[in-house]
């Protein structure tokens, strides 16, 4: 094989160009798309990519957050501020409203609301008539996602049928849907956790403070650090410790665990990510530990 | 290699490759080995597969479990779809498309190959070149993969015998000439023991060539080394209409990706199919000006003249403008369980343009095992055929052999919106 002569893009530039292309395809092919924005690092990358794709114009879609009501204040405040800075419209729909309507029924008061986000998301899709939801999921996150399409088709019930997905060739994405059906579009499918952190560093993206090392009261349980909060108080016999931690994903308080870390800068987080020995979800998602296939199950029910 | 060295220092771009082989040739083990030896497998994942390996009574960790698929697949004991895997070395990021080798193979392999620049074709050292090997090689060349690596695996089972390897190489070269594959490399491996993948191992001293990873690290990232014509399909038109900002009042940005070639501010361009001409006034990304844009870059073009341009149009350099066509000859792979119906109208999606299309004729269907041409009146899933399509509106196409982006299209069934076929013009 000959030596490299032709000028090619660096890997981050290539990933960025691909993601911009996907975002523009969604905007070009879909009548009423929406971008799912949580304030987390993956969706913050999506926002930067959308700026690169559509500025100086406005985004051709609003932002939507499905709020479990169990998010860290640092993250929801950041979410609101970021949307305001961008001058884009943010829609928030909450799982608590679905509970009031009776469409979400918890098995018990302490049950995680995380998986019930699917119901609220489907209700929002119906309310606004969205035909596509842009999400920040990545194929490297979990086994069940390795075969996910960039444009993933969901039926009228929001269900993902792994056997009924469209072949995806070249960069000819097929985002067509009939009324009531929905496309989930994943512009950063081909990114890994390390790519995300490298991009955040390169683009100097601001992040919610809890991504960086801070001291927090936690209880050690099943190899995970469980944060002690109003929602998740210590139980009798629990040993509460103040530990230097950071979050690698920011989700529902009841099911997102921090990891022990002194990484208080992006450089340190990057170094730690490159040497880390635990996958992102394995370290931090308490609900994923219960079943290897739990993500796949949730996706079938209409989760991202 | 320690994990910290995995942080790319010298960025040698991104390489997408595909692995193919018959069932049990060792594809999963090979991918597992690449991920494992490049330290891309993380502790909790390794822990889980160690437990599973022990539960199944195995003494060593079964690396093929790393690529174990979905629950539905595990229950049925088959793999049904293309999976994508990622790993990074000190120099490069890799995306592996892993296509399973069952009945739906042609469809899956064509899908996986469409985005790949290199293919690893696995051969079992004990079995040598098989019918499947020829099929995979043919499909790889059909989809225009410029670099092939024939990996002769399970060398440990033939006592690392050089003569076995040379025999397979000679057999392969005997038919590769027919397929017009230019760049083929051969490498002996043991995926199970990790010989010649990342480390050279002790037993293949007679092989002087590079390891598999060394080949991957030095393979060109660009699909072709040839200079290509500039092609810029318009995805989206940006008209901010910002009354508060008079500078933006007349802003018209044509957003898209440079599918081939490159463009510089000042270049003379033509918009097709209308044929209107202008010059590039500015190139931007996210509102920031750039002097030029290269292959695969997503940018926004601003032109000097006010021309009516919309999604589906394509901007080319005036000196390299092709003629729009309303009929195309193509090689098509049928992807759907529902056969092609010659009487129906389909939708062809070519770059960012969708046009209605009907089958004019099927020249022949290709018998993949023998490469013989057979007459056909319809197409079923996994069939590959030469066809002629009539289009309701013109498209701006190149031959697939000359341009992978403007030579490719997909066929959509409007009743289901499914992608039912993939085509290569030429
Ligand atoms: N002896 C030996 N066995 C191998 C080698 N590579 C794979 N295998 C075994 O061959 C079987 C099939 O391998 P697998 O990776 O699952 O094949 P796939 O169907 O192509 O993915 C497994 O039992 C592997 O352990 C090798 O290099 N040497």
Looking from the CA of residue B155, the nearest atom of ligand 1 is: 27
Task: Kindly state whether residue A70 falls inside one of the protein's structural domains.
Answer: yes
Same domain, B312 and B330: no
Per-residue pLDDT of chain A (304 residues; tens, 9 = 90+): 444 457 889 999 999 999 999 999 999 999 999 999 999 999 999 999 999 999 999 999 999 999 988 889 999 999 999 999 999 999 999 998 888 988 988 888 777 787 888 899 999 999 999 999 999 999 988 777 788 899 999 988 888 887 778 999 999 999 999 998 999 999 999 999 889 999 999 999 999 999 999 999 999 988 889 899 888 888 888 999 999 999 988 878 888 889 999 999 999 988 887 765 545 545 555 544 444 445 555 555 555 5
Task: Kindly state whether residue B143 falls inside one of the protein's structural domains.
Answer: yes
CA distance A232 to A92: 24
What domain count does chain A have? Answer: 2
CA distance B126 to B134: 17
CA B7 to chain centre: 25
Which residues sit opposite B388 in a β-bridge?
A: B329, B361
A contacts of B285 (beta carbons < 8 Å)? 52
Task: Kindly state whether residue A244 falls inside one of the protein's structural domains.
Answer: yes
Q: Locate the chain A residue with the closest alpha carbon to B143.
A: A170
Task: Kindly state whether residue A281 falls inside one of the protein's structural domains.
Answer: yes
Output DSSP code: residue B339.
Answer: P
Q: Could you please report the per-residue DSSP string of chain A?
A: -PPP-S----HHHHHHHHHHHHHHHHHHH-SSEEEE--SSHHHHHHHHHHHHHHTTSPPSS-EEEEE-S-S-HHHHHHHHHHHHHHT--EEEEEHHHHHHHTS---SSTTS-SGGGHHHHHHHHHHHHT-SEEE----GGG-GGGTT--SEEEE-TT----TTS-----TT-------TT-EEEE-TTTT--HHHHHHHHHHTT----GGGS-EEEEEEEETTEEEE--SSSPPPTT--EEEEEEE-SS---GGGB--EE----SHHHHHHHHHH--S-HHHHHBTTTTT-TTHHHHHHHTT--
Domain CATH code at residue A178? 3.40.50.620
User: A102-113: buried (b, 16+ CB within 10 Å) or exposed (e) per residue?
Assistant: eebeeeeeeebb
Residue A3 pLDDT: 42
Task: Kindly state whether residue B271 falls inside one of the protein's structural domains.
Answer: yes
B28 close to ligand 1 (CB < 6 Angstrom): yes
B89 close to ligand 1 (CB < 6 Angstrom): no
Q: Residue B157: CB partners within 8 Å, gap ≥ 6?
A: B125, B126
Same domain, B244 and B373: no
Residue B1 pLDDT: 36
Same domain, A50 and A144: yes
The vertex-A25 CA angle with A185 and B118, nearest 5°, equals 80
Residue A224 pLDDT: 87
Same domain, A76 and A217: no
Per-residue pLDDT of chain B (426 residues; tens, 9 = 90+): 334 444 445 578 899 999 998 888 999 899 988 888 776 665 556 666 677 777 777 666 676 666 655 455 555 554 567 889 998 887 899 999 988 766 568 889 999 999 999 999 999 999 999 988 988 999 999 999 989 999 999 999 999 999 999 999 999 998 888 787 778 999 999 999 999 999 999 999 999 999 999 999 999 887 777 788 999 999 999 998 766 777 788 899 999 999 999 999 999 999 999 999 999 999 999 889 999 999 999 999 999 999 999 999 999 999 999 999 999 999 999 999 999 999 999 999 999 999 999 999 999 999 988 889 999 999 999 999 999 999 999 999 999 999 999 999 999 999 999 999 999 999
CA distance A30 to A177: 8
Looking from the CA of residue B21, the nearest atom of ligand 1 is: 20
The vertex-B142 CA angle with B141 and B143, nearest 5°, equals 90
CA distance B70 to B82: 11
Domain-ending residue, one of B320, B345, B378 = B320
Same domain, B123 and B149: yes
The vertex-B378 CA angle with B376 and B384, nearest 5°, equals 70
Same domain, A29 and A73: yes
Domain CATH code at residue B297? 2.40.30.10
Same domain, B312 and B184: no
CA of A135 to the centre of ligand 1 (A): 36
Same domain, B36 and B158: yes
Name the region of B417 (left: φ>0; alpha: ψ -120 to 50; beta: rest).
Answer: left
Residue A158 pLDDT: 82
CA distance A304 to A298: 8
Helix axes A41-54, A193-202, angle to 10 degrees: 60
3-state secondary structure of B40: coil
Task: Kindly state whether residue B144 falls inside one of the protein's structural domains.
Answer: yes
Task: Kindly state whether residue A202 falls inside one of the protein's structural domains.
Answer: no
A contacts of B350 (beta carbons < 8 Å)? 172
Q: Which of residues 242-281 of A touch B (CB under 8 A)?
A: 270-271, 274-279
Q: Which of residues 309-368 of B touch A (CB under 8 A)?
A: 311, 335, 349-352
Q: Which of residues 290-309 of B touch A (CB under 8 A)?
A: 294-298
Long-range (24+ apart) CB contacts under 8 A made by B412-417 are B412/A174, B412/A176, B412/B346, B412/B347, B412/B348, B412/B349, B412/B354, B413/B336, B413/B338, B413/B346, B413/B347, B414/B345, B414/B346, B414/B347, B417/A166, B417/A174, B417/A176, B417/A177, B417/A178
Same domain, B22 and B39: yes
Torsion (CA) B172, B178, B183, B187 in degrees, nearest 10:
0
Same domain, A32 and A168: yes
CA distance B273 to B353: 11
Q: Give the max Cα distance, chain B.
A: 77
Same domain, B118 and B209: yes
CA distance A109 to B131: 60
A contacts of B82 (beta carbons < 8 Å)? 147
Task: Single out the residue of B178, B182, B183 nearest to residue B371, CA to CA.
Answer: B178
B68 close to ligand 1 (CB < 6 Angstrom): no
Task: Single out the residue of A128, A174, A188, A254 nearest to residue B347, CA to CA.
Answer: A174
Task: Single out the residue of B421, B426, B420 nearest to residue B407, CA to CA.
Answer: B426
Task: Kindly state whether residue B224 falls inside one of the protein's structural domains.
Answer: no
Same domain, A44 and A141: yes
Domain extent at residue A231? 208-289
B33 close to ligand 1 (CB < 6 Angstrom): no
Helix axes B131-142, B105-113, angle to 10 degrees: 40
Same domain, A59 and A188: yes
Output DSSP code: residue B400.
Answer: T
Mutate to test the pocket of ligand 1, among B25, B28, B29 (most ligand atoms within 8 A of CB): B29
B24 close to ligand 1 (CB < 6 Angstrom): yes
Task: Kindly state whether residue B41 falls inside one of the protein's structural domains.
Answer: yes
Residue A103, min C-alpha distance to chain B (Å) = 28
B21 close to ligand 1 (CB < 6 Angstrom): yes
Residue B49 pLDDT: 64
For A243, the token pair is 């530990």
Residue B327 · residue B397 · CB < 8 Å:
no
Same domain, B236 and B195: no
Same domain, A156 and A241: no
Same domain, A189 and A247: no
Domain-ending residue, one of B169, B186, B218 = B218
For A36, the token pair is 């799912």
Task: Kindly state whether residue A192 falls inside one of the protein's structural domains.
Answer: yes
Task: Kindly state whether residue B226 falls inside one of the protein's structural domains.
Answer: no
Same domain, B287 and B352: no
3-state secondary structure of B43: helix
Cβ neighbours around B338 below 10 Å, total = 13
3-state secondary structure of B320: helix
Q: What are phi and psi of A284, to 5 degrees?
A: -125, -15
Domain-ending residue, one of B193, B218, B243 = B218
Same domain, A41 and A148: yes
B contacts of A16 (beta carbons < 8 Å)? 298
Looking only at the bridges linking them, the beta strands covering A224-227 and B418-425 are unpaired
Do residue A143 and residue B412 have CB atoms under 8 angstroms apart? no
Domain extent at residue B39? 3-218
Task: Single out the residue of B67, B175, B196 nearest to residue B131, CA to CA.
Answer: B175
Same domain, B334 and B316: no
What domain count does chain B have? Answer: 3
Same domain, B191 and B114: yes
Looking at the whole model, is its pTM more than 0.90?
yes
Same domain, B261 and B187: no
Q: Which of residues 234-253 of B touch A (CB under 8 A)?
A: 235-236, 238-240, 242, 248, 251, 253
Task: Single out the residue of B308, B328, B347, B292 nearest to residue B406, CA to CA.
Answer: B328
């Amino acid at each position: 094989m000959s030596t490299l002569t032709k000028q090619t893009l660096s890997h981050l530039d290539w990933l960025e160009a691909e993601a911009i292309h996907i975002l523009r395809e969604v905007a070009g092919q879909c009548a009423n798309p929406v971008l799912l924005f949580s304030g987390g690092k993956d969706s913050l990358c999506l926002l930067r990519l959308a700026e690169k794709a559509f500025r100086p114009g406005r985004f051709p879609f609003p932002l939507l957050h499905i709020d479990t009501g169990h998010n860290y204040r640092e993250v929801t405040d950041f979410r609101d501020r970021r949307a305001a800075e961008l001058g884009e419209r943010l829609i928030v729909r909450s799982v608590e409203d679905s509970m009031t309507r009776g469409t979400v029924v918890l098995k018990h008061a302490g049950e995680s609301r995380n998986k019930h986000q699917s119901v609220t998301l489907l209700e929002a899709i119906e309310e606004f008539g969205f035909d596509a939801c842009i999400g920040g999921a990545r194929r490297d996150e979990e086994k069940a996602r390795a075969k996910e399409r960039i444009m993933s088709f969901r039926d009228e019930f929001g269900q993902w049928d792994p056997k009924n997905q469209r072949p995806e060739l070249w960069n000819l994405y097929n985002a067509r849907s009939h009324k009531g059906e929905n496309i989930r579009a994943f512009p950063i499918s081909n990114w890994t956790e390390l790519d995300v952190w490298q991009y955040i560093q390169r683009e100097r993206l601001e992040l919610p403070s809890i991504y960086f090392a801070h001291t927090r009261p936690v209880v050690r349980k099943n190899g995970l650090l469980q944060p002690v909060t109003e929602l998740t108080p210590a139980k009798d016999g629990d040993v509460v410790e103040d530990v230097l931690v950071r979050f690698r994903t920011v989700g529902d308080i009841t099911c997102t665990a921090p990891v022990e870390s002194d990484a208080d800068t992006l450089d340190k987080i990057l170094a730690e990510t490159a040497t880390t020995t635990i996958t992102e979800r394995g370290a931090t998602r308490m609900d994923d530990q219960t079943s290897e296939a739990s993500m796949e199950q949730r996706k079938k029910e209409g989760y991202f | 290699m320690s994990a910290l060295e995995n942080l790319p220092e010298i960025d040698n771009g991104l390489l997408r490759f595909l692995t193919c082989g018959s069932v049990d040739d060792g594809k999963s083990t090979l991918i597992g080995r690449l991920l494992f030896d490049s330290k891309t497998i993380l502790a909790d994942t390794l822990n889980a597969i160690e437990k599973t390996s022990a539960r199944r009574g195995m003494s060593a960790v079964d690396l093929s479990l790393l690529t174990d698929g979905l629950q539905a697949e595990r229950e049925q004991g088959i793999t049904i779809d293309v999976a994508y895997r990622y790993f990074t070395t000190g120099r490069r990021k890799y995306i592996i498309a892993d296509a399973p080798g069952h009945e739906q193979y042609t469809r899956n392999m064509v899908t996986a190959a469409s985005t790949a620049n290199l293919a690893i074709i696995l051969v079992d050292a004990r079995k040598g070149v098989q019918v499947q090997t020829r099929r995979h090689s043919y499909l790889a060349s059909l989809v225009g993969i410029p670099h092939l690596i024939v990996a002769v695996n399970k060398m440990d089972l033939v006592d690392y015998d050089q003569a076995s390897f040379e025999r397979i190489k000679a057999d392969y070269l005997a038919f590769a000439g027919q397929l017009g594959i230019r760049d083929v490399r051969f490498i002996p491996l043991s995926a199970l023991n990790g010989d010649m993948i990342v480390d050279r191992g002790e037993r293949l001293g007679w092989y002087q060539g590079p390891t598999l990873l060394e080949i991957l690290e030095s393979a060109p990232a660009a699909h072709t080394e040839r200079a290509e014509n500039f092609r810029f399909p318009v995805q989206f038109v940006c008209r901010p209409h910002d009354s508060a900002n008079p500078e933006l009042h007349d802003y018209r940005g044509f957003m898209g990706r440079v599918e081939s070639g490159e463009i510089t501010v000042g270049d003379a361009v033509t918009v097709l199919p209308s044929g209107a001409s202008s010059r590039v006034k500015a190139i931007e990304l996210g509102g920031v000006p750039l002097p030029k844009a290269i292959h695969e870059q997503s940018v926004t073009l601003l032109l000097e003249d006010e021309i009516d341009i919309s999604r589906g149009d394509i901007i080319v350099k005036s000196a390299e403008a092709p003629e729009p066509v309303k009929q195309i000859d193509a090689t098509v792979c049928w992807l759907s369980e529902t056969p092609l119906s010659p009487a129906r109208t389909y939708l062809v999606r070519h770059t960012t343009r969708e046009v209605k299309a009907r089958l004019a004729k099927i020249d022949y269907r290709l018998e993949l095992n023998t490469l013989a041409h057979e007459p056909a009146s319809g197409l079923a899933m996994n069939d590959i055929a030469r066809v002629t399509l009539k289009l309701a509106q013109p498209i701006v196409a190149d031959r697939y052999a000359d341009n992978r982006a403007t030579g490719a299209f997909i066929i959509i069934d409007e009743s289901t919106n499914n992608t039912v076929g993939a085509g290569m013009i030429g």
